[in-house]
Each structure stands twice: as structure tokens, then as C-alpha cells.
Amino acid sequence: MKKNRPPKKDDYCSNDDSGLITASELNYLEEHEMSRRDFVMDSMAMGGLAASFGLSASAPAWASIQPPEDEILRIGYLPITDATVLLVAHAMGFFEEEGIKAERPTLIRGWSPLIEGFAAGKFNLVHFLKPIPIWMRYNNGFPVKIMSWAHLNGSGLVVGKHLNVDSFAGLGGKQVAVPYWYSMHNIVLQMALKNVNLVPVIKKLGEPLAPNEVNLQVMPPPDMPPALAAKKIDAFIVAEPFNAAGELLAGGKMLRFTGDIWRNHPCCVICMNEEKVKKNPVWSQKVMNAIVKAQIYAQNNKEEVAHMLSKDGKKYLPMKAPIVKRAMTLYDTTSYEKPNAIQNSDWGSGRIDFQPWPFPSATKLIVNELQNTLVGGDSTFLADLDPEFVTQDLVDYELVKNAMDLHTGWKEAPGFNADSPFEREEIISL
């Protein structure tokens, strides 16, 4: 497998007419008509998953939804680099090599419709922000199972060009968008805000904010760069390539990479319906074999994969290749010294990396942090969650471990410790 050369800043951006930033693109961003979900608290996260289907939030209720019984793989994904391994496994024919028939993955614009599609059985393989399965399983009784991690890091916080902000402390009195209440982005953002004595709040647009308050709102990732360009929000925290798009198309600046705050953190995870896994263990194992193989390929071929996923390649993502390439490879202190978006370069992390093992320590940390994170809607279920129980109940460790024994290239991923490959210490640097 070929290795990546060190990226150069000139590979990605230009202030002239190189074609990356055009007048028409900037005009689109300024005038883009936002979707009906803009600046509205996400109705599903506020209410509940079962309510979307007219069901009670109990496990037996889901039995009334009958997904297809065939073994055709149906993938749902958002247009973000978090979905990379699903898309690579499809594009490279890794599923077919395992004898699995896979439909072309279906692009979904926001987290709520992806959740709905998965719950209804339209998709049997998806990537979710890691806190979403926690909410689905323990607040809604849905039998979702985390099968592996999708990637490491791969997110950041971008601030608008209209702000003179170089630290989290400068976000007081500002509007910040998150992709979902139950997201790593919301967790990490609030950790950083509290560290500088800012108070996360959820208020209607137009309501006055105290100087120490930061107003949070849910917004689909594709809407974030246009909203930033139009000054409808002051900042957003989201997965790539929308940070890169925010930089190149909306004139924003990266305030901090999330992987520089929490070392090699999970963001999206690979999920399946637990009942499907139980009924089809051999088929499910083959799916995971392909996923782990795709993890290794993506880690070792980031530039190639960026082009493959882009609008200029196989068109899985609606972004041009230079934007996706930036999102996957541009990570150096010279490019991001003002503001100081990378403060822990000695960690040896990439802008995004790929390894499948779902470290139990990270799940425990997420549950603990969720219990202290402001979210929209009824979050009372969080108070009774036992992190140890969730760590064992929510995650299937067997199938991914079998796949990792078969494909061992994951040992080259950042943070691999040969002495303790399946356990680690979680490191936070605020």
C-alpha cells in the first residue's frame, strides 16, 4: 500500500482564481436558502425516536416494524468523512469479496432522517455519532448495536470571518451550531466552554444572551458553511469535510481540532440492528471483515481515498477533491498557527485516522460526560445509566475482533500499543 507524502499548503487553497473558490460558490453560500430544519431544535432529539413512528418507547413496539429479511447490504450515510470506511468498502469491492451483495450507499442529509431510515429497516448498516446509539437504545428501547469505530478524530470548530476570536473564551455571547444534541461535537464543545467559564444555553434566536452564555442550535452539517457565510451563526463544530468547506468557501478559520482536545477520540461508529446480527452472525461477520479491511486501506491511502469519495471521483461526497483532500490530510502547525488549532502535535495524530477497535474506556468517558452535557429534550434517562453496563451492553466486541485478527494492518494506526492493543487511557487537553 502506498503511503501519503507530507501535504503542502499549496495543495489545498488559493486566494486567487485557481478554481477552488469561485464567485458563484461564494454567492451561493451568501444567498443559499436554508432548509426547514435550520435554527430549530431537532424534533426527534427533543421528542423521541418512537414518536416519529407513532409507537411507544418500548422494546416490543419495534417488533411492529419489519425490515427486509434478505441479506442485501443497504448502507445509509451522511456526506461526511466519518462514513469513509463504509464508502471505501463499497467502492473497492470489499463487500463483494466477502460474498455480500451491496447496494450503492444512500446519501442522507441529516442525522434525524438517517436514524429514521435505520429504525424503519431501510438501512441495515450505518454510521452514527457515537452518543446517538446511547440515546436510541436507552431512551427509546431500540436494539441498535455498535459494531466498531468508524474513524478517529476528523472534526473541528470553525469560527466566522466576521469574528476576531482566537480561543474558546471569545465565544461568549455567540451562536454556535452542533450537528446533533447527542454528538461528540456537543460533548467536546461543552467541555471546552466550561473550561473557560462559559455557560452553554439553548435559547430561541433573538433572545438576549449574557456575555458568558453560548447559544447552541442543531443544524444539518451541509447547512453550516452557508449559515456561517451569511453570519446566521458565529461558529460551528462538525465533521469533515464541512470544516474544510467552511474554511475555503465561507472564509472561516479553524479554532481548534477536536482530536487536539481529546486524543484519538471516536466520533462516528459503525452500527447494525442487534436482531439482524443475532439472526445472521455469519453474514454480519463478513460485513465486519470488509469494514476492517476498508479501515486499513483508508488509513494508508488518504489522498487516493479523498479523490475517490469526492465529486471528482466516485461522487459519494458532494465536494470537490481539493476540499476532501484538505479535510483528510492537511494537519500541520504551520498552516494552523493563527489561531493555534493544533496544540498537541506531539500526539502524532492525523486530521482524521482510521482504526476499528471500540475502546471501552472511551465509551465510559462518553456516558460520564453526557450526564453533564446540556441537550435538548428529556434527558432524564442519562441519570440512571451505568457506564460499566453501557460499555458491555451497547458494543459488540466479538465480530470486529475476529475481523482484526484476519486483517492486521490496523496495528499501524496512530496510538497503537503492542503491549495493550485493546485497552488505553483517555487523554484530554483543554
Return the SS3 of 274.
Answer: helix
pLDDT digit string (tens) for 147-172?
999 999 999 999 999 999 999 999 99
Residues 133 and 51 in one domain: yes
Domain annotation covers residue 419: no
pLDDT digit string (tens) for 341-393?
999 999 999 999 999 999 999 999 999 999 999 999 999 999 999 999 999 99
pLDDT digit string (tens) for 189-213?
999 999 999 999 999 988 999 999 9
Residues 325 and 380 in one domain: yes
**What number is the average pLDDT over the span 241-259?**
96
For position 68, what pLDDT does the model report? 75
Strand 175-178 vs strand 199-201: parallel, antiparallel, or unpaired? Answer: unpaired
Q: Which residues lie across from 144 on neighbouring strands?
A: 273
Residues 274 and 394 in one domain: yes
For position 428, what pLDDT does the model report? 98
Domain that holds residue 159: 154-260
Q: Which residues contact 350 (CB under 8 A, 6 or more apart)?
A: 152, 153, 302, 329, 331, 414
Residues 137 and 172 in one domain: no
Task: Give the number of domains in the chain.
Answer: 2
Range of weakest confidence among 48-52, 103-107, 176-180, 186-190: 48-52
Domain annotation covers residue 131: yes
Tell me the three cell numbers of residue 81: 468523512
Residues 316 and 373 in one domain: yes
Burial (0-12, 13-18, 19+ Cβ within 10 Å), 417: exposed
Confidence band of 248 (pLDDT split at 50, 70, 90) = very high
pLDDT beyond 70 at 265: yes
pLDDT digit string (tens) for 301-342?
999 999 999 999 999 999 999 999 999 999 999 999 999 999
Domain annotation covers residue 421: no
